[in-house]
Every structure is written in structure tokens, then in C-alpha cells.
Amino acid sequence: MFTIELFKSGMWGDSMDDHLELLLSGQLYKKLKEVVYKPVTKDYSLSMFDIKVLLFLKDHDMYDTARDIVEIHYLTKSYVSKSIDTLIEKGYLKRKQDMHDRRCIHLELQDKALPVIAYVKVKQQELLEILFNGITEEEEHVIRGVAEKISSNIAGVLEESGTANISSERGYLNAGRNNG
């Protein structure tokens, strides 16, 4: 088991365990997602980024602007903008001006996007089944708890260093934050 004490003692060598490093960097997960979602990207001519934007808008009712997507997922504005333009061009999204602040543009999923999202949700379930294959409910609970703590630790450092994209008053960054 990897612990900070073992890492500091040198038992893990001069760097983190390769498996842990790969997991935390997300490279294995990214490759797996590309394999699982390939039928969607091929059938609908969408990028993985486009899929991420569609899922975000479907799963986060209260967050519906490009800024929300950028801040919550720490994504580059230009990539989000390009993806939104592509999704609008394909008829999956529509821009809607805010009634109170005309500078704010909300993104609205269109009916044409629903079959795509349904297909993505099937693939998302397939991905989860692959990830949690052979893992007990108790182990899954532990994994989720550890992931929340690691995310919280990272978010805390980013927030304190001033490099976090999202302000704490927006709420998403500090969700589940435990300082104890």
C-alpha cells in the first residue's frame, strides 16, 4: 500500500509507484475512454471533447455556460469554444442570451442531442463496468472516498496558490472538501 511515509522513506524509490502515477495522471483512463467511446465519436463525427461538453450540460442543470465548463473541468477556453461551435453547427446545442445579463450566454441542449447523449450514457455505463469489474461494493466506496480526498487536496493547493480556475463561492471546487 502506498503511503506518504513509505514514499518519504524511499521504499518506493525516488518517484511514485508507476501504477499510481498513471492512475493520477489519467493517461490510462483517457486511453480507455477513447476505446469505449470510439463508436460514438465515429458514428456522430464528434470529438471526445464534444462528448465531454454534451455530458456536462446534460448532467449539470445549474451550470450551462461556456465559463462553467471551463472553470469546473479546468479546460482551455479555446477548446470549449470550438467544441460549442461544432455542437451548435451540428444542431445539438443552441445559444440563449441571459434575460438579466446580456453578456451571459447560456447553452441549451437541443432534442437532436438526446439520442447522442443516450448512446454516450450506454458507453459510460460500459466504461464503469470495465473500471469496477471485480471490485466489491466496499472497495468501490473506499476508492470513491480516497478519490474525493485526493481531489480535495489538489483543489486546496491550487486554490491557495491562486491557480485554481474557479472561485470557492461558486461551490464546485470545495465540494466534499475535508480539512480534517
Residue whose grid cell is 461551490 = 171
| Domain contains 62 | yes
Range list of β-strands (E), 47-154: 93-97, 105-109
Residue 174 within a domain: no
The CA distances from residue 129 to 11, 120, 140, in Å, are 33, 14, 12
Domain assignment of residue 74, given as a range? 4-131
CATH number at residue 107: 1.10.10.10
Provide the mean pLDDT of the chain: 83
Percent of the chain with pLDDT over 90: 55
Q: Which of 12-26, 41-55, 122-136, 148-162 has the lowest mean pLDDT?
A: 12-26
In this structure, is residue 17 part of a structural domain? yes
Residue 122 lies in a domain: yes
- Of the two residues 25 and 39, the one the predictor is more confident about is 39
Q: Which cell is 114 given?
A: 438526446
Contact between residue 104 and residue 63 where contact means Cβ atoms under 8 Å apart: no
- Would residue 91 count as lying in a domain? yes
> Is the pLDDT confidence value at 172 over 80?
no
Q: Is residue 79 part of a domain?
A: yes
Instruction: Count up the domains in the chain and report the number.
Output: 1
What pLDDT is attached to residue 13? Answer: 54
pLDDT at 56 over 80: yes
Grid cell of 108 as nine digits = 441549451
**Averaged over 161-170, what is the pLDDT?**
56
pTM: 0.73
CB-based contacts of 50, cutoff 8 Å, min separation 6: 83, 86, 87
Q: Compute the average pLDDT of residues 74-85.
A: 91
For residue 171, being part of any structural domain is answered with no
Is residue 159 included in any domain, yes or no?
no
170 pLDDT above the threshold of 50 = no
**The pLDDT of residue 174:** 38
